[in-house]
Structure 1
Amino acid sequence: MTKKWAIFFLFAVVAATVLFGLTLSNTKFDYDFDKFFKPDDEPTQYFNEHRDTFGTDNDFILIGVVNQGGVFDPSFLSQIEKLTAEVKELPYVKDVISPATLKHYVREPLTGTVFQTPVIRGDRTKDSIRVFSDPSLVDNIFSETAPAISLVVITEPKLSKNKSDVISTALKSTIDKYKFDDVHLAGRAIGQVVYVNKIQTEFILFMGIALVFIVILLFVMFRSFRGVLIPLATVLVAVVWSIGILNLSGKGISILLNMLPPVIFVVGMSDAVHLYSRFLEELRDGATKAHAIHQMIFDTGLAALFTSITTAIGFASLYLTGIPALQEFGVITASGVIAAYVISITMLPAWLVLTEPPHKVINNEKGNWQRQLDGILIPIIRHRKWVFIGTIVIALGFGFAASRLELNNFILEDLKPDEPLRKDFAFFDVNFAGVRPFELGLKLKEQDDSFLTPQNIGKLNKLENYLKSTYGVHAILSPVVAAKESNRMRHGGKNEYYVIPDSERDWKKTEKDLRDIVKTGKLKPVLAKDQQYARISGRTGDLGAQYFDSANVALQTFAEAEGITKTMDIEITGTGTLIDRTNQNLVFSLSKGLGAAFLLIALLMGIMFRSIKMVLIALIPNLLPLLAIGGVMAILGIDLKMSTSIIFTIAFGIAVDDTIHLLSRYKLEMRNGRSSNQALRNSFVHTGKAIIITSIILFGGFISLCFSSFQSTFYIGLLVTLTLGFALFFDLTILPALLARKED
């Protein structure tokens, strides 16, 4: 590289960095659950139709208020009434359901006039009896297990982060005016504020931890200001480019993309360290600066190109999952990895061309690294039989453990158990109906049929009773609720009549009421206009995907046994159900991605080494870490879910880098006429230090994710770090043992 080209490359990198830097002020943060659903899947399409017909299932905020003196205390209820009135006036609030708004409809038998009577009338004993004999209020507005009531705040649909901030701040400010014993908040808008605020905080935290760790490591490794500055400047530019690419794509930083900066930081640093280490190595061996730069670019640079491509393939393979959130993370991170390589292979050599070589390094002796690496290699060559046996035993042990991995997930598993938001959600799971939405869609098979017939209302009632008693759904809304309310209305508002009419005469009156209500549009949230598509909605506790998987099967079995499915199709849907199904299908989706990454990387290695045997030798040390991490997950009781599944494709793409660097040097030594064992020793000694150092850098970058308050990010950091540790171990043991066999 001439000085003219060096100046050109530096100018080009600086110009591009300025352009990308100008987009940094436009960086936004994203929390969109819909991106975790496959848009072309039938369950997702059904959910979208269901939501378009009846409305969203999670646009509410729950306010749980505890009063140790009892929930029917007049002064407490007076405060609740005032709170309800204030909350109704907050921005983006459509309605509030609370003890202060509860009314029973009553029809005057002589005139037919309908009037309302309040449920709470000021008599503690009678109010308590009235409330706890009303199944529509128990576990919905009033708790059976705690002296607490719940306010259900209905918000505008799909509130943005800014709108969620406004309503969350206003709601907390309003509640703070009152001296309640205890208050708990839950719901989508509250969760969105907490999640995005944590993403913003951790975005800076991860970068800070990775930066400090790598600066210290670079100084220990190179013991010079130049040795820290050159690689550090290279990767900082790569991070700016990556965030710029993210901004230009119009995407926001999500829980997954929050890991983009530290990932690019450490992956880019790996390229920079390998390149700069090769430059210093050539200088130590007496080469001129020009020759050292040439070798750095065309030997190590070529290997770095292959490692960058394999890493990018690992991330890009997430596109095959079909899940938008993973697709965005995979493609943008892969683009950042390639950008980091382009910066390293242009900016770093250009910098070295335009500056004087570090004279102190030229005469610096090789330290203890050669002796230490020889101390590792020689016993492996001498005892490679035992290395093979030990590797097989380890593989079998981890393989057996990995076979016991289980699929499971919880809606709030991203938050650690001691997080206040998770405790608030748990409060509603324990004392009320829960927070997880439940949605059941029902479509009649006969075109001239209607859900307002006594037969179909009866079937819906059977389903409701099963859902309450067996499945665990409460706070239910459906056409049946309207039928029961109509029957109670015609019997003086007495709770014992909150049932389906059992006489034909009473049913005809109820049916007439229902058809009158349909005309007003009040049944639109639970019944489609053609009366052939109905909805049963409610809330449950966050009991885990395994529970709901078996519960859904049992519900389908019950519906078939009761003959319900003969006249109507039922489909369990909703946000929670789609999350569960996404995780269940993720193993197959990620298997496709991992398989594609495996084939592409094998093909790349085949092109690089032109030998099937070398391809097999290269892949073995990188498949073993995946088996090992699967075993570790099973041993530690970590379930297979979205956050833990993606580490297999990510780690495979990154772990193979060290293997490529070692085998590339091995190929070069063989081409220079070395014997197989001599080529192995030279490769092991010369690249071993850089491999260990870059692995430690990767450890530092990914271990920074373990400081996250999101368990998904924590597990990605922990498990990728462990996988890379296994990869380093197998690269330094089984890989040289496989190569040494060629001398037998």
Structure 2
Amino acid sequence: MWALGFAGLLTLFFILTWQGVRFNYDFENFFQHDDPELDFYQEYREVFQNDNDYLLIAIENNTGVFDSAFLTKSLAFENELKQVDGVVEVVSVLNQKEPIISPFGVNYRPLLDWFSKESLAGSAQKIKKDKQWMGNLIADDSSSLLLLVQNEQMIGKERGDTLYASIESKLQAYHFDAFKTAGKIKAQGAFVNLLQQEFAFFLSFAIVGVLLLLWMMYRSWWGVVLPFIIIVTGIFWSLSFLLLTGGELDVMSVMQPPILMVIGLSGMVHVVNHYQTALVASESKDKAIFGAFKTLGLAVFLTALTTSLGFVSLYFTNVPSLMWFGLYTGCGVMFMFLALFSILPFALYHLPSLPSSNREVWASRWNKFLKLLFHNITAHRKAISLSFIVVTLLAGYFMSQVKTNGYILDNLPEGHSLLEDFQFFDQQYGGSKPLEIQIQAGSVGQDLFDYRVLKEIEKLEDFVRENYNTGFIMSPLTAVKAVNKAQNRGNPKAFVLPSALSYERMQPLVDKMGQSQNIKLWTTDKTIGRLSSKTADNGSLLGKRQHQKLDEFVESNIDKELLKVRLTGTSFLIDKSHELVTYKVFSGLGFAFLLVGIIVGFLFRSWRVSLLVILPNIVPLVWIGCVMYWFGIDFKLSTSIVFAIAFGIAVDDSIHFMTNLRMQMKEGHSLLKALFLTYLTTGKAIILTTLILISGFVMLTFSTLEIPWFTGVLVSLSLLFAVLADLLWLPVLLIPFKKVIERKINHRNSLDRDKQTQLK
């Protein structure tokens, strides 16, 4: 009863300290937080600005944008937009004025003049020939115009939601033919809405699923209600702990309810299966309950620990979203273990027993099946072992061919309106993915406006435009080109770097016009600047190749004495994260494998047995990699984590099997006899728990988000592969080491007997 009292006190504590559910989706939570590139970018944005604090608005008109009524309405909307709290700047063709330099000084004329049909036609004809505007602030087909809205820097989630809601309501009020929007303040709100829907869906779906499974297993209301209370209690403790320690629900943690439910249910099945077996043997209920917890206490604790370690291994990724998901889910598994062992004895005591005939019929069927399976395995040991080795080696080869590739909006379901809007900007305006490069004057150049440095920037711009297929590029060179164009009465062909002599004459004008830059492109001392553009989101694999080509170009073609170049920005960091997360997940798995090896080594006092047990647990991971190759699934943030989750849960079967085997051998059985008895008891529980776990993870495939979907499919497959490896290959691996295992166990039994003798 003391354990039940502990559970009650802990529940009361969490009720009194309940913080309320909080949802968040912070884009930067997917950055590597031990990456020097992140430190550099944070310094960079202090000088310039955050490269994703903007909103792109494309306003469409069915008859084209060069329509006076449409332009008048668009300008009214823009002017109203500038008054919205949180909007810093709005850039569009509607408010652009072209400088024209003449002998009488600098004059400015509107880029677009639509106050008469003739002036509008002239403006349209001029703009259509100018690549400075077409494909940049006006779509190439003239069907829409772009408003680039700069919002407050580092805007928070709640304020961002308010700002976007205000902008969207104004867009709706103007009744444009159509409009598209893309940007951080929209994406964060859309993701959080999806998270809230997913959390409610998974929680309700998991509850229904667990209730159904419990009814199928026990066919009594006590057998449904009490185990359900245990599982809900464990989840409540886990969620309360997360919120109490400042955690929030994000795209990762919404998966916790079904994961913890099926993990708790699988642990319960092992205990209840042992309890029911004891009842079949005509033991009393009290003795059966005591025997189940005494016998399986260590095994269930070790499986909870190894499952927790599998999740905690995600902490090694150093990606905050994955780190906290791994840590909190690992803690949640241990909370579920506490709930199981503090409440389940009481629950079992009040569960009505199944009719004796039913228990005996089902026990007879299971025994018949498992006996046949065991005898077939021992009769074909060489063929089974060879098959597993060959298939695993082939799978390993295919796994090595899987590419690492991810996208910024990976998590969104296909056809989601947000994804379609971003794709629209990729197609019509050169991209929605920011590209940022820091440029710095070298030791020879005086500053970025030294003509020799500008020539290097020109070479860099030309390569970036070709390599990344970018839209319009902004840099200190842009100001120089604009002045040259102004000196040539706005001729689009003059938007180039002039000759050295011409540049020398125009330099005072460059200094003057540069002071009014809307977007900061260089520092006050003109020694550091930015090259900024946007590209389509074509994936981190292509991005990595493009970045490598840029590095090679800079190394061989840019004079470092004149110009220093360094790629940075949020998109670059995300591309790097996909690559590094894959590497670090497998590094964390290595640590988890080591800990599991130590646990098994502790049970059997043999490093050779530890290695043998690890081998079957490599199988599901390698086979998953093979499945990914054949179905064209790439390594990335949303798939790499599956390996850590799969290992943590799949290794439970091996721990249960080896713990039961050790118990059977301590009772004096030979290895073969102990394997046979373990097969008849633990084998049944392993199969049942695997079916339960798979049914739980299959729930995740109903998600519209990519991370839960991949987790559901790939973890379910890994569990299937794990049960095959543990029931077919693990016994085959152990039999050749019969003498070693028996000697270790006999030696341990002898030491235990000596201790008991000394105590007497």
Q: TM-score, normalised by structure 2?
A: 0.92
Residue 435 of structure 2 aligns to which amino acid in structure 1?
F
Separation (CA, whole Å) in 1 of partners of 2:327 and 2:505 = 60
Residue 450 of structure 1 aligns to which amino acid in structure 2?
D
Separation (CA, whole Å) in 1 of partners of 2:217 and 2:131 = 70
| 1:239–1:261 Cα contact (<8 Å) kept | yes
Residues 89-168 of structure 1 correspond to what in structure 2 (within 5 A)?
89-107=83-101, 109-110=103-104, 112=105, 114-121=107-114, 122=116, 123-145=119-141, 147-168=143-164
Which residue number in structure 2 is paired with residue 61 of structure 1?
55
1:145 Cα deviation from its structure 2 partner: 4.0
Matched, 1:402 2:399: yes
Separation (CA, whole Å) in 2 of partners of 1:361 and 1:217 = 21
Residues 261-280 of structure 1 correspond to what in structure 2 (within 5 A)?
261-280=257-276
Separation (CA, whole Å) in 1 of partners of 2:668 and 2:374 = 21
| 1:708–1:714 Cα contact (<8 Å) kept | yes
Q: Deviations over 1:593-631 (max 9, x none)?
A: 011111011111111222234323321211111110010
Residue 626 of structure 1 aligns to which amino acid in structure 2?
L
Matched, 1:735 2:724: no
Matched, 1:710 2:705: yes
Separation (CA, whole Å) in 2 of partners of 1:722 and 1:693 = 15
Residues 152-231 of structure 1 correspond to what in structure 2 (within 5 A)?
152-231=148-227
Separation (CA, whole Å) in 1 of partners of 2:244 and 2:633 = 36
- Equivalent residue of 1:197, what SS? helix
1:422 Cα deviation from its structure 2 partner: 0.9
Indicate which of 477, 480, 483 corresponds to 2:480: 483
Residue 333 of structure 1 aligns to which amino acid in structure 2?
T
Residue 478 of structure 2 aligns to which amino acid in structure 1?
V
1:650 Cα deviation from its structure 2 partner: 1.6
1:274 Cα deviation from its structure 2 partner: 1.6
Separation (CA, whole Å) in 2 of partners of 1:482 and 1:742 = 77
Separation (CA, whole Å) in 2 of partners of 1:533 and 1:361 = 83
Residues 290-439 of structure 1 correspond to what in structure 2 (within 5 A)?
290-352=286-348, 355=350, 358=353, 360=355, 364-367=359-362, 368-439=365-436
Indicate which of 15, 27, 45 corresponds to 2:21: 27
Separation (CA, whole Å) in 2 of partners of 1:462 and 1:541 = 22
Residue 87 of structure 2 aligns to which amino acid in structure 1?
V
CA 1:366–1:302: 2 relative to 1, 3 Å: farther
Which residue number in structure 2 is paired with residue 11 of structure 1?
5
Which residue number in structure 2 is paired with residue 44 of structure 1?
38
1:558 Cα deviation from its structure 2 partner: 2.7
Residues 667-682 of structure 1 correspond to what in structure 2 (within 5 A)?
667-682=662-677
Q: Deviations over 1:663-684 (max 9, x none)?
A: 2111111111223333222211
- Equivalent residue of 1:535, what SS? strand
Which stretch shifts more, 256-265 or 466-475?
Answer: 466-475
| 1:306–1:660 Cα contact (<8 Å) kept | yes
Separation (CA, whole Å) in 1 of partners of 2:190 and 2:432 = 16
Residues 688-727 of structure 1 correspond to what in structure 2 (within 5 A)?
688-727=683-722
Which stretch shifts more, 555-564 or 137-146?
Answer: 555-564
Residue 170 of structure 1 aligns to which amino acid in structure 2?
S
Indicate which of 501, 520, 526 corresponds to 2:521: 526
| 1:9–1:350 Cα contact (<8 Å) kept | no
Which residue number in structure 2 is paired with residue 81 of structure 1?
75
CA 1:528–1:41: 2 relative to 1, 3 Å: same
Separation (CA, whole Å) in 1 of partners of 2:642 and 2:529 = 41
Separation (CA, whole Å) in 1 of partners of 2:532 and 2:355 = 73
- Equivalent residue of 1:153, what SS? strand
Instruction: Number of aligned residue pairs: give it.
Output: 734
Separation (CA, whole Å) in 1 of partners of 2:474 and 2:606 = 65
Separation (CA, whole Å) in 1 of partners of 2:355 and 2:325 = 43
Separation (CA, whole Å) in 1 of partners of 2:373 and 2:206 = 29
1:363 Cα deviation from its structure 2 partner: 8.1
Separation (CA, whole Å) in 1 of partners of 2:738 and 2:470 = 68
| 1:445–1:569 Cα contact (<8 Å) kept | yes
1:23 Cα deviation from its structure 2 partner: 5.0
Q: Deviations over 1:14-42 (max 9, x none)?
A: 22223324555522112112222223322
Which stretch shifts more, 193-202 or 375-384?
Answer: 375-384
Q: Deviations over 1:548-569 (max 9, x none)?
A: 2222222233333433334222
| 2:218–2:354 Cα contact (<8 Å) kept | no
Root mean square deviation of aligned Cα:
2.2
| 1:560–1:566 Cα contact (<8 Å) kept | no
Which residue number in structure 2 is paired with residue 442 of structure 1?
439
Indicate which of 494, 498, 502 corresponds to 1:497: 494
Q: Deviations over 1:466-492 (max 9, x none)?
A: 222342122322111112222333443
| 1:104–1:493 Cα contact (<8 Å) kept | yes
Residue 306 of structure 2 aligns to which amino acid in structure 1?
T
Matched, 1:608 2:615: no
CA 1:359–1:731: 2 relative to 1, 3 Å: closer
Residue 215 of structure 2 aligns to which amino acid in structure 1?
F
| 1:279–1:296 Cα contact (<8 Å) kept | yes
- Equivalent residue of 1:735, what SS? helix
| 2:19–2:240 Cα contact (<8 Å) kept | no
Any stretches of 5+ residues in structure 2 without a counterpart?
740-760
CA 1:446–1:41: 2 relative to 1, 3 Å: same
Separation (CA, whole Å) in 2 of partners of 1:564 and 1:39 = 32
Separation (CA, whole Å) in 1 of partners of 2:537 and 2:47 = 26
Indicate which of 56, 60, 70 corresponds to 2:64: 70
Which residue number in structure 2 is paired with residue 260 of structure 1?
256
1:116 Cα deviation from its structure 2 partner: 4.0
Separation (CA, whole Å) in 1 of partners of 2:688 and 2:206 = 15
Separation (CA, whole Å) in 2 of partners of 1:665 and 1:543 = 51
Q: Deviations over 1:142-188 (max 9, x none)?
A: 11146222211111122222222222222222222234333211111
| 2:210–2:261 Cα contact (<8 Å) kept | no
Q: Deviations over 1:432-472 (max 9, x none)?
A: 12100000011233287211211212221222222223421
Separation (CA, whole Å) in 1 of partners of 2:274 and 2:225 = 17
CA 1:319–1:470: 2 relative to 1, 3 Å: closer
1:351 Cα deviation from its structure 2 partner: 3.9
| 2:441–2:453 Cα contact (<8 Å) kept | no
Which stretch shifts more, 706-715 or 553-562?
Answer: 553-562
1:657 Cα deviation from its structure 2 partner: 0.3
Which stretch shifts more, 311-320 or 355-364?
Answer: 355-364
Separation (CA, whole Å) in 2 of partners of 1:735 and 1:222 = 31
Residue 738 of structure 1 aligns to which amino acid in structure 2?
L
Separation (CA, whole Å) in 1 of partners of 2:157 and 2:692 = 35
| 1:475–1:538 Cα contact (<8 Å) kept | yes
CA 1:553–1:18: 2 relative to 1, 3 Å: same
Separation (CA, whole Å) in 1 of partners of 2:80 and 2:265 = 54
| 2:64–2:142 Cα contact (<8 Å) kept | no
CA 1:427–1:24: 2 relative to 1, 3 Å: farther
Which stretch shifts more, 142-151 or 231-240?
Answer: 142-151
Separation (CA, whole Å) in 2 of partners of 1:237 and 1:386 = 47
Which stretch shifts more, 112-121 or 674-683?
Answer: 112-121
Residue 622 of structure 2 aligns to which amino acid in structure 1?
L
Any stretches of 5+ residues in structure 1 without a counterpart?
1-5
Which residue number in structure 2 is paired with residue 3 of structure 1?
none
1:131 Cα deviation from its structure 2 partner: 1.4
1:102 Cα deviation from its structure 2 partner: 2.1
